[in-house]
Structure 1
Amino acid sequence: MDETIVETHAGKIQGADLGKVIAWKGIPYAAPPVGERRFQPPQPLEPWTGVRNATTFGSIAPQLPFLLANGTLEVEMPEPQSEDCLYLNIWAPRQEGRKRPVMVWLHGGALLNGSGSQSDYDGADFAEQGDLVLVTINYRLGVLGFLYLAELAGEAYASSGNCGLLDQIAAFQWVRENIAAFGGDPDNITAFGESAGAISIALLFGMPAARGLFQRAILESGPVGTVPDKKAASQKTQTFLEILGLKTSEIDALWTLPYEKLLAAQARLLKDGRLGGIQPVLDGKDLLATPLQAFTRGAARDVTLLIGTNRDEARLFTDTITGEKRASSLASGAISPELRKNALKILRTYSKSKRAFWRALACFALRRPDEKLQDLLLEILTDYAARIPSIRLAEQQVRQGGRVWMYRFDWPSPHLKFGACHALELPFVWNKLEATSMSVLLGAKPPHELARGMQAAWIAFACAGDPNIAKLPSWPAYDLEHRGTMIFHEVCQVINDPQAAERQVWDDVFLTEELDSTAASGA
């Protein structure tokens, strides 16, 4: 029997034998979203006859080059690109007649970049070390995945603002229906993702169509911002048309323009910045609630969660902030143009409220007047964009009777003063400290034991719903009394309520406003 040949619901595919693991790449999970299917939800896959080759990756979603860390890092873009991009990849150990846990990875990239075929996400080692089935997926990005057209093109496009999320749902549905043929257990699926991938998972809890598709979820550095309503999304679409030189009456051109022109207009839209980044939309059809609303209503109660952030998330995104000003200088209103530029850059990225941010900055400055202003700013941006929203979700999960574990990744990059910045945990979770696009941030001697421990904890969580392993200190589930949090560093430890004073400041500055704004959104 040739174990590389597997029969899916759409037809047979043949993968590649890697020894202990078999890989199937470029598996279509929905019909190509091209032509009239552009801006439409994913459509059912057409069956094929014969055996389809599944030894090479499929095309990735159209995207533009993306630089991070002041141009130090460039997001890998495996070729080719095409609107025909709805593919997934599977790595699985040889079958032994038993069901294995399944992990499905959602890549990050601000909903603008990334793919499931990036070399950083090669799943062979994960599958072998965890004795599990590892899946990575592509989904539509940018305006092709999140341009809301219902108000301008009619209700036939009511789902257009959330096509990328609907792609993810279609991929999970495919996994549930087909993964048993690869030795996976369709009733033991863990969704895990980083940054936009983690945000996506959080958003899926507000989508009824995603209910029951996974039993566990890991959210790495998932800053959860507000989600625009239909009016705001339509305004962004109108601006996009203006950039393309199109009148509303000429909107049909969106279906015939080459995607390269759409991406060029998207770049101009994002450069303007006033309308925020590319985001899903609370459309009242597919996405009914923000993550915080959904968690507050108990939508995640039956899904076991692992949530965490990195100690210095914001350092990956901000330009270098110079000067030795102290926080006390804020008392005289002395906010430099450079400071303001960096703050607004982050706030636009995550569609955060400027009012609450400046209130928080003032409160922190009063408490810590002698701290360097740039350090204070970066810490507040990290809190505002990632740590506090993640804690809010964990708090609601606990209040609703669900289980959740919390972590913070603290190991700092030895180079370029980026600290434990956004995305730095990825080569540790995937245990890829040598062959990684993050090598420039890892230095000559990154701690391999930390990588082995983190990957093992993620595997334990996926297998049994509990990240505790022998290599780590005892890791309690999160509760509102102790708030035990695993700190990942060269020496790992559990700290109760880390940065408690700062969290309490945010309780005063941020929580009421966030709850009020989400309640007022009508979702």
Structure 2
Amino acid sequence: MNRIGRRDFLSRLSLATAALSIPNYARSSSIKPDEFAEVETSHGRIRGIRKGGLSIFRGIPYAGRISGDRRFRRPAPLEPWKGVRDAIQLGAPSIQPPNQTRGENEPRPAEDCLFLNIWTPGNDNKKRPVMFYNHGGGFATGSGGAVDQDGSNLARSFDVVVVETNHRLGIMGYLYLDEIAGSDYTGSGNMGMLDIVAGLAWVNKNIAAFGGDPNNVMIWGESGGGAKTSCLYAMPEAAPYFNKASIESGPGVRMIPREVASEMTAIVLQELNISPKDWRKLLEVPVADLLSIQQKMPQLLATRNGGRVGFVPGSFSPVVDGIALPHHPFDPSAPEISRNKPLMTGWNEDEFTFFAMAFRDTDALKLTTDFEALQTKMQTQFGADTKRIIDTYRQTRPKATAADVWIAVTSINMMGLGTLQIAERKVQQGGAPVYLYNFGYKSEAKVPGTDYAFGTPHAMDITFKFNNEVPGGQPGFLSGGRPERSDVSHTMAEMWATFARTGKPGAKNAPEWPAYNLTDRPLMRIDSKCEVLKNRFHDELAMWKSIGKL
């Protein structure tokens, strides 16, 4: 993330994400079903609901206990059950700060959180593509039950099976104990990711009974979910269980090195007054105390080298431990283990309007012609390069206001440059293709407290990809109320579903989407009218490369 909002990025991102309103389209759990749907799984029979041509199963356990002596370890074996188990209500999300999940009628967070949700047109033995989604929220918040990523419309409209998991987050999922706790805790710094792998393994074994094809699975995710997808793309244990991937507004190029993870563990022990030899006491610490340390970690690391590492700097997140995650996902190269797996990746054009709201940093949105004030504001982040950056963007955007330049610079710096590194390194690998996009549909909704429109902010793509911007729906908090947004949503969802089905994205109302290459660098710009752009941001990228940012 470079140096943007380093000390409080995580808490403010979570606050803003939780503030998103619950859209009317997703209020499906309160709808009475026409009937129930039953499926036999590897551990017992479950019952979901059948409504409007769709079967929905919520709160399916995919692995066993992770509390007690299983804290920070692999889950206990999942115990089979007798009779029919209801899969109608969401399962508990992972431990996290309060008020961060967005599921309707969702239970309180709990240690034992390994549940998944499935949306399918039918448990009819039809081999549909499986779209396995990783939720956002950095690596610290969120759940697979959030209403904006409800899978109903995506599954129904495009005949796919949608799966979403809950998995360990934050300190519960990424506290690195390998060096002090013995072989039972090997991979402890990646337990949150290994939970997702367990979910993928469950899907591989069971999804055929839900009308899905276990040999055609796409992993995808936005923001922190994009970074999770980056990690899965590089993890040996995940490799047998998916065939393609999409990394969206969350380029997980590098994760936490072992030495930084060790430092974070030492800080945790110090804060709890536990010596390394007494590490087992961690198994008895109340989760509220662990969560309190998690919240303070960015500040505790702020003056140390560790504070500059990771997808969300200073947070508990995947560790490059040489085993579960053998190397950084996309540094120095794309992972060889996924050479032959097609990839999509991209970002939203105005990502930073969301973060301006999240960071309560909206003063620059009021700037019009005062580029001197803009230079002063950007100086802390970009130092001696500030003037050159601003001059480049003014040359390529002669009609842009100072606020427009700020949003363009911070958006590509936060999400775009890492995304381009991923695309370039995937091309350099010479294996399966990579497809690059920019999401550019403009929302007229204003950033709270300003007259500046969100444009295409971070997280707005979620409802569009899930085909949840429905015709006649009420205006969204981020997406606004322009009627054409439903057509854009349908096209975008079709692109993703087509990629899940065939390994190449496409839609009826869009031009053919060429694979990315290092000659004319084509990308798909997704808007009311989609278009393929070549060598987009040529001058800006040349500048970013010259100052060592790309």
- TM interval, short-chain normalised: 0.7 to 0.9
Change in CA separation of 1:313 and 1:12 when aligned onto 2, cut-off 3 Å: same
1:16 to 18, 38, 49: 49
What letter matches 2:362 in structure 1? T
2:89 to 21, 34, 56: 56
In 2: Cα distance, 1:186 partner to 1:360 partner: 49
1:161 to 163, 166, 189: 189
In 2: Cα distance, 1:6 partner to 1:295 partner: 42
Matched, 1:320 2:362: yes
2:416 aligned partner: 387
2:291 to 263, 271, 296: 263
Change in CA separation of 1:317 and 1:242 when aligned onto 2, cut-off 3 Å: farther
In 1: Cα distance, 2:437 partner to 2:245 partner: 14
2:432 aligned partner: 402
Q: Secondary structure at the match of 1:293?
A: coil
Matched, 1:428 2:449: no
Q: Secondary structure at the match of 1:387?
A: helix
Structure 1 unaligned regions, length at least 5: 68-73, 344-356, 515-523
Alignment of 1:86-485 (within 5 A): 86-272=114-300, 274=302, 275=307, 276-293=314-331, 295-318=333-356, 319-322=361-364, 324=367, 335-336=376-377, 340=380, 343=381, 358=383, 361=386, 363-368=388-393, 375-399=404-428, 400-414=430-444, 415-416=446-447, 417=452, 418-433=454-469, 439-446=476-483, 447-485=485-523
- Whether the 8 Å contact between 2:393 and 2:540 is mirrored in structure 1 is no
- Whether the 8 Å contact between 1:180 and 1:186 is mirrored in structure 2 is yes
In 2: Cα distance, 1:271 partner to 1:437 partner: 40
Q: Secondary structure at the match of 1:209?
A: coil
Change in CA separation of 1:193 and 1:296 when aligned onto 2, cut-off 3 Å: closer
- Whether the 8 Å contact between 1:224 and 1:385 is mirrored in structure 2 is no
Q: 1:179 deviation in Å?
A: 0.6
In 1: Cα distance, 2:373 partner to 2:95 partner: 45
What letter matches 2:497 in structure 1? I
- Whether the 8 Å contact between 1:224 and 1:386 is mirrored in structure 2 is no
- Whether the 8 Å contact between 2:442 and 2:456 is mirrored in structure 1 is yes
Q: 1:239 deviation in Å?
A: 1.8
Change in CA separation of 1:359 and 1:10 when aligned onto 2, cut-off 3 Å: farther
In 2: Cα distance, 1:326 partner to 1:313 partner: 22
Q: 1:361 deviation in Å?
A: 3.8
- Whether the 8 Å contact between 1:486 and 1:492 is mirrored in structure 2 is yes
Q: 1:206 deviation in Å?
A: 2.2
**Identity between Structure 1 and Structure 2 (%):** 34
In 2: Cα distance, 1:57 partner to 1:20 partner: 20
What letter matches 1:442 in structure 2? S
- Whether the 8 Å contact between 2:294 and 2:315 is mirrored in structure 1 is no
Give deviations 1:5-37, integer Å, cap 9, x for gaps.
211111111111113111111111111211011
Q: 1:122 deviation in Å?
A: 1.8
Q: Secondary structure at the match of 1:452?
A: helix
In 2: Cα distance, 1:148 partner to 1:161 partner: 4
What letter matches 1:256 in structure 2? E
What letter matches 1:320 in structure 2? T
Q: Secondary structure at the match of 1:441?
A: coil
Q: Secondary structure at the match of 1:190?
A: strand
1:350 aligned partner: none
Change in CA separation of 1:422 and 1:405 when aligned onto 2, cut-off 3 Å: same
- Whether the 8 Å contact between 1:307 and 1:404 is mirrored in structure 2 is yes
In 2: Cα distance, 1:193 partner to 1:282 partner: 20
Give deviations 1:400-431, integer Å, cap 9, x for gaps.
23211111011233112332111111111112
Change in CA separation of 1:500 and 1:299 when aligned onto 2, cut-off 3 Å: farther
Structure 2 unaligned regions, length at least 5: 1-34, 308-313
In 2: Cα distance, 1:402 partner to 1:26 partner: 35
Change in CA separation of 1:482 and 1:53 when aligned onto 2, cut-off 3 Å: same
Q: 1:225 deviation in Å?
A: 4.6
Q: 1:163 deviation in Å?
A: 0.5
- Whether the 8 Å contact between 1:229 and 1:283 is mirrored in structure 2 is yes
In 1: Cα distance, 2:542 partner to 2:76 partner: 47
Q: 1:75 deviation in Å?
A: 5.5
Q: 1:509 deviation in Å?
A: 2.8
In 2: Cα distance, 1:39 partner to 1:285 partner: 16
- Whether the 8 Å contact between 1:294 and 1:300 is mirrored in structure 2 is no
What letter matches 2:432 in structure 1? G
1:348 aligned partner: none
In 1: Cα distance, 2:333 partner to 2:161 partner: 28
Give deviations 1:306-345, integer Å, cap 9, x for gaps.
1110011122123213475865679xxx745x863xx4xx
Give deviations 1:451-504, integer Å, cap 9, x for gaps.
111111111111112222211122212122222111112222111122111122
In 1: Cα distance, 2:259 partner to 2:500 partner: 39
- Whether the 8 Å contact between 2:244 and 2:343 is mirrored in structure 1 is yes
In 1: Cα distance, 2:423 partner to 2:77 partner: 35
What letter matches 2:347 in structure 1? T
Give deviations 1:224-274, integer Å, cap 9, x for gaps.
253221111111122223333444454333211221221122112235561
In 2: Cα distance, 1:436 partner to 1:151 partner: 53
- Whether the 8 Å contact between 1:15 and 1:23 is mirrored in structure 2 is yes
In 2: Cα distance, 1:245 partner to 1:408 partner: 48
1:26 to 42, 54, 59: 59
1:520 aligned partner: none
Q: Secondary structure at the match of 2:478?
A: helix
Q: 1:295 deviation in Å?
A: 4.6
In 2: Cα distance, 1:298 partner to 1:360 partner: 35
Q: 1:508 deviation in Å?
A: 2.6
Q: Secondary structure at the match of 1:57?
A: coil
- Whether the 8 Å contact between 1:321 and 1:339 is mirrored in structure 2 is no
What letter matches 1:441 in structure 2? L
Q: Secondary structure at the match of 2:482?
A: coil
What letter matches 1:364 in structure 2? I
1:498 to 510, 528, 536: 536
2:18 aligned partner: none
Q: Secondary structure at the match of 1:175?
A: helix
Could you tell me the TM-score, scaled by structure 2's length?
Answer: 0.82
